[in-house]
Structure 1
């Protein structure tokens, strides 16, 4: 069984754009290496992240994330088991996702949430739209 956690957070104002770009590169490589799928988006001083994978790996990663001083005000949106993955790999983006394939995967994730998680769908859609400015 796969697992998903998603959250939003406020970026530490001491981080520079270079720091954030380096973080995005590191997260993308690291998460793909350990078998996590999902997305990390940075926009206007906030992070939005979706982590999918084996339950133990996702929960362990989220515990590390909560202790990371590069952000604060973490608000967890989803924390549940899931039947199938929404993302084929891990993506990270500085400001917006520009790749059409990544946008398609994000839209498919939102469509699944609308069907399987209707109580949180509107909040997730709202936050995604704020980050993406594309949907």
Structure 2
């Protein structure tokens, strides 16, 4: 990916609720198509699919970080918001960055069970990110977790 020395990169983090549980084959298909498009637009990032062990759709979530030039990232996010595979798309963080956190991945992916989240460094609950009293602390935990995950799997 272009390293972009102009310091005009955008990092965007959102969460959403899955309309239903997805199979690994469906997620693999989504990921393959996303990687092709993201690579062409020089967008990097990480996609996490979080679902409880019983695969209850009410408890399945997507969490994604997108990084790249602002215009392509914004266009992609607008398309993502219209995608019918999920709903309640919530923008958690949008920030200018100088360096990509996930620069080597056209789109990293991992499916996480709820039990894995609880074992993560710090516990975060996507349902409560809009609680302003906890927002910054929760967001720091999430970003640290995503960076840690990326570091272990690149």
TM-score with structure 1 length normalisation? Answer: 0.68
Q: Distance in 1 between matches of 2:33 and 2:137?
A: 29
Is the alpha carbon distance of 1:94 and 1:25 closer, same or farther for their aligned partners in structure 2, counting shifts above 3 Å?
Answer: farther
CA shift, 1:83, in A, is 1.6
Match of 1:85, SS? coil
CA shift, 1:20, in A, is 2.1
Q: Provide the aligned C-alpha RMSD in A.
A: 2.6
| Higher CA-based Rg | 2
CA shift, 1:36, in A, is 0.3
- 1:84: which partner in 2? 99
CA shift, 1:128, in A, is 7.4
- 2:111: which partner in 1? 95
Counterpart contact for 1:15–1:70, Cα < 8 Å:
no
Name which of 72, 75, 78 aligns with 1:63: 78
Match of 1:31, SS? helix
Q: What are the within-5 Å matches in structure 2 for residues 22-33 of structure 1? A: 22-33=29-40
Counting matched residue pairs gives: 110
In structure 2, list runs of 5 or more residues that go unmatched: 1-7, 52-59, 113-134
In structure 1, list runs of 5 or more residues that go unmatched: 97-118
TM-score with structure 2 length normalisation? Answer: 0.61
Counterpart contact for 1:77–1:120, Cα < 8 Å:
no
